[in-house]
Amino acid sequence: MQARHSPPTRIALPVGFIVVLGMLAGLPPLSIDISLPGLPAIGAELGATDSQMQATLGAFMLTFGFGQLAWGPLSDRHGRLRVILLGLAVYVVAAIACTLAADGAALIGWRAVQGFGASAASVAGIALVRDVFPQPQQRATIQSFIVAVLSLAPIVAPLIGAFVIHAVGWRGLFAVLAGAGLLLAVIVAIRLRAGRLRALRGVQPADPESEGPGSGTDQPSQESAERPAGYRGFLALPHARALSCALGVVFCGMFVFISGSPFVLIDGMGVSSSVYAIAFALASGAVLAGSLATARLSQRGVPPQRVLYAGVRGAACAGVAALAVGLALRGAHGQWWEIALFVVAMAASLFFGGFIMPTIFALGLQDAGAMAGVGAAVLGASQMLGGALGSTAVGALPVAPIVAVGTLAALCGVAIWIIARVTFGRTPS
């Protein structure tokens, strides 16, 4: 009986570590969502078109996704802390440049640089979880709480953005982001020093002089040193390709709802922007709830593969239900129950997205060893690629938006279940 309860007792929650990495992971969604209320004002002042304003978001997401592929190997070679601080420096400089932008093209360019800097902090932060917590169950628990922290960003960012615009104008948005990046760099330098990370892991430093950025948790294990380094080495690991693909599919399904919901609720059902903001906040709360549910199961000692399998079954069911809702509400006129039904379907899919993500990260980096930075880069790039595909596909289907959202949600839900079934079999251990 004691053996059954031993896993939860081993997983202590390092609150400071979780909050810092949650802030690093939440920087990209904060950077994107805080600007949403200001896009019309920015375009009007700079004389930019709507497509240029959308491109400011696309440029950030593009460089954030593929920038991780550059920063990941660098963090393996030179250390996580160095890469995080360098990335935050790039981020802060780009944010300051955005406040001085004179036209839409300049803003697009500096937002691209800003996304590249943010990608360094994100990928190195994910790899740090693998460095400090070697057991998959531990990583699933910690990653779940990190996802819970970052999921707060989409809830509060638009509110912060609206307040800043009203108080000081749209240029203040990027001043806030520059200040946030600078503050985060100071916190990281203090809280993620090598000595603190060794103490967190429960390992005493063998050589005090070795402490410094990039030391301590960056040393390859004997097992990982025998494997080839780089992307080829990581993709050769068991399940690495399947889990990377799975994470992309999860994000594709989530972004189907995120990008399609304004067209369904505002254009299709005629709800106001304030009602839509409430619906979006509720859906973002579902991501938070899903990640906390995974953390709870992991703390109780449920193996990560079983958590994943439960999540993909739920995602498949939620996707099929979303398709049924989409077909049933094709001619919706904005009745309260129609709005509520769609929001429930959206929240269900996002819940299982938040439920699955931490476990995929934990399993995906399980055997990465000294390639944790490369592995985190592959997983992070898969996320952004999947999100981009989901956002694009909603507008590409020649059907009503609500039907497109339901169809794509069902395809993604079933696809993630098939991937898990093929990868781990019928009953994963």
Q: Are residues 183 and 298 in the same domain?
A: no
How confident is the model over 340-393, as pLDDT tens digits? 899 999 999 999 999 998 888 888 887 777 787 888 888 888 888 888 788 778
Lowest mean pLDDT across 165-174, 196-205, 357-366, 390-399: 196-205
Q: Which residue, of 158, 186, 219, is where some domain finishes?
A: 219
Q: Which residue, of 219, 248, 275, is where some domain finishes?
A: 219
Q: Are residues 231 and 342 in the same domain?
A: yes
Q: Which two tokens stand for residue 224?
A: 């990982």
Q: What integer pLDDT is reported at residue 214 of this predicted model? A: 41
Q: What integer pLDDT is reported at residue 204 of this predicted model? A: 35
Contact 125, 21 (CB under 8 A): yes
Alpha carbon distances (Å) from 155 to 34, 58, 409: 10, 20, 22
Q: Which two tokens stand for residue 128?
A: 């740090």
Q: Whole-angstrom Cα distance, residue 116 to residue 125?
A: 15
Answer whether residue 1 is part of any domain: no
Go through the chain and tell me how many residues it has.
429
Answer whether residue 79 is part of any domain: yes
Q: What integer pLDDT is reported at residue 281 of this predicted model? A: 79
- φ and ψ at residue 206, rounded to 5 degrees: -75, -30
Q: Are residues 314 and 205 in the same domain?
A: no
Q: Which two tokens stand for residue 6?
A: 């031993």
Q: pLDDT-based confidence at 268, cuts 50/70/90?
A: confident
Q: Are residues 250 and 182 in the same domain?
A: no
> Does residue 9 surpass a pLDDT of 60?
no
Q: Are residues 256 and 392 in the same domain?
A: yes
H or E element at residue 364: helix 336-364
Q: Are residues 64 and 133 in the same domain?
A: yes
Contact 342, 329 (CB under 8 A): yes
> Does residue 319 surpass a pLDDT of 50?
yes
Q: Are residues 120 and 60 in the same domain?
A: yes
Answer whether residue 29 is part of any domain: yes
Answer whether residue 358 is part of any domain: yes
Answer whether residue 59 is part of any domain: yes
Eight-state DSSP code of residue 221 = P
H or E element at residue 159: helix 153-168
Q: Are residues 136 and 196 in the same domain?
A: yes
Q: pLDDT-based confidence at 220, cuts 50/70/90?
A: very low
Q: Which residue, of 219, 237, 265, is where some domain finishes?
A: 219
Q: Are residues 154 and 195 in the same domain?
A: yes
Hey, what amino acid is at 347? A
Answer whether residue 4 is part of any domain: no
Q: Which two tokens stand for residue 418?
A: 């098939």
Q: What integer pLDDT is reported at residue 316 of this predicted model? A: 95
Answer whether residue 139 is part of any domain: yes
Q: What integer pLDDT is reported at residue 416 of this predicted model? A: 93
Q: Are residues 197 and 238 in the same domain?
A: no
Place of tokens 């922007």: 273
Question: Looking at the 3D structure of the chain, how many domains does it have?
Answer: 2
How confident is the model over 24-78, as pLDDT tens digits? 988 988 998 888 777 778 888 998 887 788 788 878 888 988 898 889 888 888 8
CATH number of the structural domain spanning residue 277: 1.20.1250.20
Q: Are residues 289 and 188 in the same domain?
A: no
Q: Are residues 229 and 376 in the same domain?
A: yes
Answer whether residue 2 is part of any domain: no
Closest C-alpha among 419, 225, 424, 401 to residue 329: 401
Q: Whole-angstrom Cα distance, residue 274 to residue 159?
A: 11
Q: Which domain holds residue 271?
A: 224-429
How confident is the model over 226-248, as pLDDT tens digits? 444 578 888 888 788 999 999 99
